[in-house]
Amino acid sequence: MLSHDRIWQAIDRLAAENRLSASGLARKAGLDPTTFNRSKRVAADGRPRWPSTESIAKILAATATELSMFLGSEAPRHRFEGVRPIPLLGLAQAGAGGFFDDGGFPIGQGWDEVAFPAAGENVFALEVSGESMLPLYRHGDTLIVARDAAIRRGDRVVVRTTAGEVMAKVLQRKTGRTLELASLNPDHLPRTLALAEIDWMARIIWASQ
């Protein structure tokens, strides 16, 4: 039976199988990036909201997916074992206080979520806002970061300072006292921060395009 939950789960599964966030899937299909956001799935009065047949047709065409595969009556061509929902925060939320535990992982409930193949326990998503990360990351892109992933020189990372600033950079050098970070945007200068200023640092393991 075609239910509200099933259709939205199928959209999330299709996004994950194509290594996209829900907003990335919408963008790939030429739709507004917010078309499949969690906030669009339930109306303000609690009534379930359904995606349009036009939006479904566009994502199937964009991913060359048959309707029967989309609804799960056939095995998908791509399958990632262990796909699970992970928390999705905006960069402004990530910079605010009270949203992370001592290990740098989102706490509480009510977050939006994206489906992503399981890659360790301390994995979450950040939605890019603004233009400071151009040309590599655009407004609305989703960054998947791993707090427990090993970080080496040259890796792209997200850093949160004790002052609540959140930034995506490239790790240039880490000493016993400082962290040297190169900027992704040529209009922004490199940063050198004392380790005491760093709340947490996570490696970017995937980004929507």
The answer to whether residue 14 scores a pLDDT higher than 80 is yes
d(CA 161, CA 3): 44
* CATH class assigned to 83-207: mainly beta
Give residue limits of the domains in the chain.
4-70, 83-207
CATH number of 4-70: 1.10.260
Closest CA to 207 of 146, 132, 157, 144: 144
Q: How high is the mean pLDDT of the chain?
A: 81
Tokens matching residue 25: 């899937």
Per-residue pLDDT of 118-143, as tens digits, reads 555 678 888 888 777 878 888 888 88
Closest CA to 13 of 82, 90, 89: 82
Please give the model's pTM, rounded to 2 decimal places: 0.57
Per-residue pLDDT of 22-64, as tens digits, reads 888 999 999 998 999 888 888 888 888 899 888 998 999 888 8
Give the pLDDT of residue 171.
Answer: 94
Beta bridge partners of 85: 115
Q: In what helix (H) or strand (E) does residue 91 lie, and over which residues does it extend?
A: helix 91-95
Give the pLDDT of residue 95.
Answer: 65
With a CB cutoff of 8 Å and minimum separation 6, the contacts of 110 are none
Locate all alpha helices (DSSP H) within 49-187, ordered by sequence. 53-63, 67-70, 91-95
The answer to whether residue 73 scores a pLDDT higher than 60 is no
d(CA 105, CA 146): 9
Residue 113 burial by CB count (10 A; 0-12/13-18/19+): exposed, middle or buried? middle
